[in-house]
Structure 1
């Protein structure tokens, strides 16, 4: 290792492939709220590769500034959910009976495999610019903290509030696990509390009260009979969902409950805004007491934009809708079309045996590298 690489930390070596980088990024433990060591290592590495770098808390933004006609943003979060017991680190490489050659350990899927892909690309772009072979597009790399916890702490949201100019571009790719298939946009999400009220009484004299939990049957009946909609948006079919996720009521085993709360989660297609989604839920529960507690709009796919269409073509896959809510919605709020595209199967995210296929790491890197570095102008056009 050179002296420069030593000073730039454990992620900056020029000969690290995407598999070893994934291992090193994962083994730098970074449970939500404790991302500083990994952010430090990433900041040191991208600075050593000659990129323009900005730090906000434990979020790192690295950019090329070459006056290209288009800018692409690649984003990924640094944090993970807590380790398993016993800890599922350090990462190990093994042959899985279904998935073949895999890396196993916390963060391999969600989403440090994607972070490692970003780092290899950042190194390649830095080397290309230094050699006079600029990328075909300007690129912004965003590495952010606190995605796995409440939205108020989300590092990408903080960057959008404090430095929205750094997130602007013609197209954004969130390297969340998608099995190396493009997932366009995302559904919105909304939660309400549906409340039923009764009258408390001793359960030995139940006729003197009115049971609010029994009245919640009306809420559950409507949910049971509800038929989720399938909504086509820009050529992708988003499936909605309306489900009870929590029921609370009662204060003691001998008291008729005078209040019951059913928490309902609505996943709605990105063609609707929050106001329209709330109106729909209130229509479903017409005549009942409904309180909105949380909501986030979805994101339109934007796959007709030139950069997005070109990228989808390069992947050679048919895009799918993203049913869950992801941070692509934050880019959508800034007017930047965004997709999810990264290594790893979401089905293993947060599992004790969380894993990522090695083949998907290589495939995502190859697609993005070819797309960003092919046909780049010579350095004479750089700034």
Structure 2
């Protein structure tokens, strides 16, 4: 077993869905043992942030990930709460199975090794609370975390070509909203005495369905936003005209304009509330995107490309704060958050080479 696969196993085996402290401690202790970096582990703040070399030079380029995970499936945890980690060899590919293998402890381990091995000053961060809306990233930004460039190690493998690790130059954000229709209750036998909130909600849903969603072009990669009504709730009884009905809207956003969801409030008695707004990411520096792509080319036999990603990541928070980002990592589409979540150990090794090369290219420029 290689050093990197052993480190990945150790990270994956450490539970981190309810409390990331232990996983953060594994990251911090390994960095202190294997590097001469300044390592800060704040389990109630950002998570783990490490810098090596001159602090100003280290802020030129950062490798960024997160060590929290979503709650495991029943088959991914033992009766005493330990995470199940299993290695399987399938069609000449050895994969590690378990919660967090793909999202994203495999790439965190690769970034740790690359951080150690890179012959350049640089920064490493493994944030907490990414799965809860970027808690650690936002805490770090508020505390002054501001690298010029960042490679965020979320999944980018098999996006354009199976088995190839691409470089994401844009990803969507997510705005989650609640639309509430207010009416006046009455007995259902005399519906004209009330105002039916379900009917008003239905009108508002038609407004949502009629809205245009923006598009964005990022370094030649086009992304389109989307809107979907995902939940609805209303009514208090089969014989009562409802006085309230609400529904949720999942909006995937792109850099630039948002869908005009405030238009739902043109319907009488309807209000709109934003519950969550995870920002999109768009790389604003073609030179940086090309430098990481060149490192991806040298790290593998395939032909990586600049691509887009449908999921929000901490790159959105960093980009919003002024850091130029790309996303590049071992996870493949369909792996994260699943009962059979897994990652290719060969691709994890590839990402370690890719990250090290990219850091050195950017730091030396």
Match of 1:258 in 2: 243
Match of 1:168 in 2: 146
- 2:332 corresponds to 1:350: no
TM-score of the superposition, structure 2-length normalised?
0.84
Q: Are the structure 2 counterparts of residues 149 and 375 from structure 1 closer, same or farther at C-alpha, using a change threshold of 3 Å?
A: closer
Q: Are the structure 2 counterparts of residues 298 and 102 from structure 1 closer, same or farther at C-alpha, using a change threshold of 3 Å?
A: same
CA distance in 1 between counterparts of 2:206 and 2:25 reads 53
Give the match's secondary structure for 2:113: helix
CA distance in 2 between counterparts of 1:93 and 1:69 reads 35
Match of 2:316 in 1: 329
- 2:127 corresponds to 1:147: no
Gaps of 5+ in 1: 1-14, 126-133, 378-383
Give the alignment partner of residue 62 of structure 1, picking from 38, 50, 64. Answer: 50
- 2:305 corresponds to 1:311: no
CA distance in 2 between counterparts of 1:343 and 1:18 reads 13
What is the Cα deviation at residue 218 of structure 1?
1.8
What is the Cα deviation at residue 102 of structure 1?
1.4
Q: Deviations over 1:111-165 (max 9, x none)?
A: 101111012113324xxxxxxxx32xx21000121111245xx111111112x1x
Gaps of 5+ in 2: 78-82, 158-164, 298-303
Match of 2:103 in 1: 110
Match of 1:72 in 2: 61
CA distance in 2 between counterparts of 1:342 and 1:225 reads 37
Give the alignment partner of residue 267 of structure 1, picking from 248, 252, 265. Answer: 252
Match of 2:80 in 1: none
- 2:279 corresponds to 1:292: no
CA distance in 2 between counterparts of 1:290 and 1:337 reads 36
Give the alignment partner of residue 243 of structure 1, picking from 228, 246, 249. Answer: 228
Alignment map for 1:114-263 (pairs within 5 Å)? 114-125=107-118, 134-135=119-120, 138-151=121-134, 154-162=135-143, 164=144, 167-179=145-157, 180-226=165-211, 228-263=213-248
Give the alignment partner of residue 83 of structure 1, picking from 72, 82, 100. Answer: 72
TM-score of the superposition, structure 1-length normalised?
0.80
- Equivalenced residues, count: 340
Q: Are the structure 2 counterparts of residues 263 and 93 from structure 1 closer, same or farther at C-alpha, using a change threshold of 3 Å?
A: same
- 2:3 corresponds to 1:17: yes
CA distance in 1 between counterparts of 2:14 and 2:305 reads 35
What is the Cα deviation at residue 23 of structure 1?
1.0
Q: Are the structure 2 counterparts of residues 312 and 243 from structure 1 closer, same or farther at C-alpha, using a change threshold of 3 Å?
A: same
**Kept after mapping to 2: 8 A contact 1:186/1:301:** no
Match of 1:281 in 2: 261
Q: Deviations over 1:41-70 (max 9, x none)?
A: 222221122112222235111111246497
Q: Deviations over 1:275-311 (max 9, x none)?
A: xx26x2224764453323233432221242x333211
**Kept after mapping to 2: 8 A contact 1:193/1:263:** yes
Q: Are the structure 2 counterparts of residues 206 and 375 from structure 1 closer, same or farther at C-alpha, using a change threshold of 3 Å?
A: closer
